[in-house]
Structure 1
């Protein structure tokens, strides 16, 4: 066989192996499971799946915030551990997560911080056990790896929102109560904050492509999500509402990551897109840099699905608490996401 023919045949064979994994993942058939309800007085577990904290006060603040919300607190045995930049070894961090899901006294799990390293524990989690003991897990940024793994491997709905050591301002505390305690079907709409301006500048949403769409909510931090490409821990994107955010990424890197989502076929499958904040993602000084809004137009407009940007999602002080795996409606003209179904067991 000529080398050219061999390479062509091998490429086709490889494509036959890889493309179905993106178009129809083996995990797509896993039935969704809802977490048990959470009530005041319940016990909340604190875990550190990613980076270590450089100040023990952060751990104390996380515990105090949960107590102020009305919960008992149980700390993971390795919450304050450290191995390099990580909060302990992979086995220790995964062990704390598994133990919290298996503990009958713990009703929800809050990640004390993000950082980097959560993807390392994904192969060590006991997904069948987690599915048998479904509980709400809260966090964002690097915790995106956990959200997607829990959804794809256990079918579990989890919550993208504030970390334990982050700001528990009035907005975030109210979001927590409404979503996790009162179990409302929340409409996520940016806070109207005009200040002393004639027209509102802060917290503005911008319609990229008009319309409405319904589907299961998937996504999270763009760089963490893209780092899962090619693995079994990504969910099925078909018919989903995709939400994204990031921090500290140069526009060319945002462009590269969105290109990866397009090349792997994910973008072509979604029913709608909402992009939150890309904090500190300005083009900076230099020649010829695209802006993030230009990049979003390049990738999202050709999809011809409803899309908007500027939602209160990401590395910002006030942020939505979104149900990853929950059914939502996106309204790109109004700049809203609305929960359509309960995300806790009755």
Structure 2
């Protein structure tokens, strides 16, 4: 059975929106002028778990519930969280329904994606951005969830969060940033740990200021040409990826360059490119590719920030004003990311 947008909104109990569907569609094409922030988390709050991309298993939910119970949070799961539709966690409309339901549910204070994979780009045209803006909540994830974070920031003007998904490794480093930023509302300076994983490589030294915009490189390039990206102008682009051949990283950075994006940004951070190696020889190294594309921009830039498919993760507020220091590889928040 085909469900149109009016029926879908009505099924969520959004009668006023369902009866004014044309204005909703018109408004969703216009980004509001001001950025808003979600309320911070508190011990005892309920978080909503959703599967907007790849398939998950029952044991993934049980593990996630234990993780968030240990953080003092209650858990509510999306109705369609265990759905399957090919390689997706349910149909596009049902995955959207879970997201909308979590945003309008007054008992839910934050929304956390179970995992990435693929599928979020498919649902961007189905999201109700005015509805999301009118119910501002923390939404967090990474990898394929990049699509949701950028689109919601661009179209709802809500600060979103690039960080651990529910199935991530929730070690002390990751938990500390999660709690400091989302519970305590702290204005942090994010700095790598002193392990070998935390080593940075400077591309161009210096300091810059701007809004943090970015996420997974493959996903960002797949969104180019769409209406779901924030402004790049004078902002800080951060990227990460996993399992990409060096020539593919080159190809994607070239796409960003040819699209006019790299020439607009004020600073550049490449988190970590996990298992990004050359399959053929001869080849460039990853750092050579970054030097070729980024160094001519003459903007502060470095590689190796704790962002990406790694165990120790920052919680990155997408759309928040920050200062970066490429010499030290630090990101300093200029204001709290939550209310």
Give 1:28 shift. Answer: 6.8
Q: State TM-score, norm by structure 1.
A: 0.88
For the residue of structure 1 that corresponds to 2:178, the secondary structure is: helix
The within-5 A match list for 1:197-208 is: 201-208=196-203
Which of 128, 140, 161 aligns to 1:159? It is 161
For 1:29 and 1:333, locate their aligned partners in 2 and report how far apart those are by CA, in whole Å: 36
Corresponding pairs, count: 311
For 2:306 and 2:313, locate their aligned partners in 1 and report how far apart those are by CA, in whole Å: 5
1:280 corresponds to = 275
Change (3 A) 1:156 1:305: same
Give 1:30 shift. Answer: 3.3
Give 1:287 shift. Answer: 2.2
| 8 Å Cα contact 1:161-1:322 kept in structure 2 | yes
For 2:31 and 2:239, locate their aligned partners in 1 and report how far apart those are by CA, in whole Å: 21
Q: Quick check: 1:245 aligned with 2:248?
A: no
The within-5 A match list for 1:42-121 is: 42-53=45-56, 55-121=57-123
Unmatched 5+ stretches in structure 1:
1-25, 194-200
| 8 Å Cα contact 1:312-1:320 kept in structure 2 | yes
| 8 Å Cα contact 1:50-1:142 kept in structure 2 | yes
For 2:190 and 2:31, locate their aligned partners in 1 and report how far apart those are by CA, in whole Å: 27
Which of 315, 326, 331 aligns to 1:337? It is 331
1:283-341 superposed Cα distances (whole Å, 9 cap, x missing partner) = 14x32211111110011011111001111110001111100011111100011111111
| 8 Å Cα contact 1:28-1:235 kept in structure 2 | no
Q: Runs in 1 of length 4+ with deviation above 4 angstroms?
A: 26-29
Unmatched 5+ stretches in structure 2:
1-28
Q: Quick check: 1:297 aligned with 2:291?
A: yes
1:128-186 superposed Cα distances (whole Å, 9 cap, x missing partner) = 01001110001000000001100111001011011001111111111111111111111
Q: State TM-score, norm by structure 2.
A: 0.90
For 1:66 and 1:78, locate their aligned partners in 2 and report how far apart those are by CA, in whole Å: 20
| 8 Å Cα contact 1:162-1:172 kept in structure 2 | yes
For 1:210 and 1:33, locate their aligned partners in 2 and report how far apart those are by CA, in whole Å: 32
1:198 corresponds to = none
For 1:160 and 1:48, locate their aligned partners in 2 and report how far apart those are by CA, in whole Å: 16
